Amino acid sequence: MELNSNLSPKAKIDFELVCKARDENNEKAYATLLAKYKDSIYFMMFKMVKNADDADDLTIEAFGKAFNRIHQYTPDFAFSTWLFRIATNNCIDFIRKKKMNTLSLDKTTDDGEGGELSFEIKSPNLDPEERIIRKQKIRIMREIVQQLKPRYRELVVLRYFRELSYEEIAEEIQLPLGTVKAQLFRAREKLYLLMQNKKGNI
């Protein structure tokens, strides 16, 4: 893959990280790219949605999509340009879907030990095939979540399976709100790194 000679030194360093992540599945390279741009992506998301929780979620989604498609990146332009485009498009989709009927999940239950969760998709707009696909994706995500350390797994379950707010999570596990947000962000970083081994299944 030929590198664009007009790229800035910063973009060339990013390209080296992309190559390590893509060709070697190098977790450190993924983590470095995430750490480098997560604040910028977050502030852009917040500017678009005007909601801190949504901006936080959209930030991680953007990195997840970028990392899952990293083989599609070409060094004709900077990685940051490509990443911001993915983040922007994902955010636009989110805003559009928020104006429509969204999927709702039954209240999720668990065994108290991070065991298997069961929930039902209630959207009347899903046909049987879409329901099956949705459940398959949920099953795969549960399997990935089980690979997290217990403290991170608990946070992910509370946030994404039980759909608690940050404030409700802080109250349930008796931790300051800022600590919950910071630990959940780290949990999602680790979650998306684990997802690299499940490319094509989610």
- pLDDT, tens only, 144-191: 888 888 888 888 888 877 778 888 888 888 888 878 888 888 887 777
- One-letter amino acid for residue 16 of the chain: E
Q: Nearest Cα to 157, choosing from 119, 130, 194, 193?
A: 119
DSSP one-letter code for 105: B
pTM of the prediction?
0.54
- What are the residue ranges of CATH 1.10.10.10 in the chain? 128-198
Tell me where in the chain the CATH 1.10.1740.10 domain(s) lie: 9-98
Task: Report the CATH fold assignment for 128-198.
Answer: Arc Repressor Mutant, subunit A (1.10.10)
Q: Where does residue 60 rank: exposed (0-12), middle (13-18), buried (19+ CB within 10 A)?
A: buried
Q: Is 158 exposed, middle or buried (0-12, 13-18, 19+ CB in 10 A)?
A: buried
Give residues with Cβ within 8 angstroms of 140, minimum separation 6: 198, 201, 202
Q: State the average pLDDT over residues 50-70.
A: 87
One-letter amino acid for residue 165 of the chain: S
Q: Average pLDDT for residues 72-93, to the nearest whole number?
A: 90
Q: What is the largest CA-CA distance in the chain?
A: 56
User: ∠91-92-96 over CA atoms, to 5°?
Assistant: 115
Angstrom distance (rounded) from CA 64 to CA 74: 18
How does residue 119 score in pLDDT terms, banded at 50, 70 and 90?
A: very low
pLDDT score for 111? 34
Instruction: List beta partners, residue 105.
Output: 121
| pLDDT reported for residue 176 | 86
pLDDT of 141 reads 74
Decide which of 1.10.3720.10, 1.10.1740.10, 3.30.1490.20, 3.40.50.300 is the CATH code for 9-98. 1.10.1740.10
Nearest to 185 by CA among 156, 145, 149: 156
For residue 115, the model assigns a pLDDT of 38
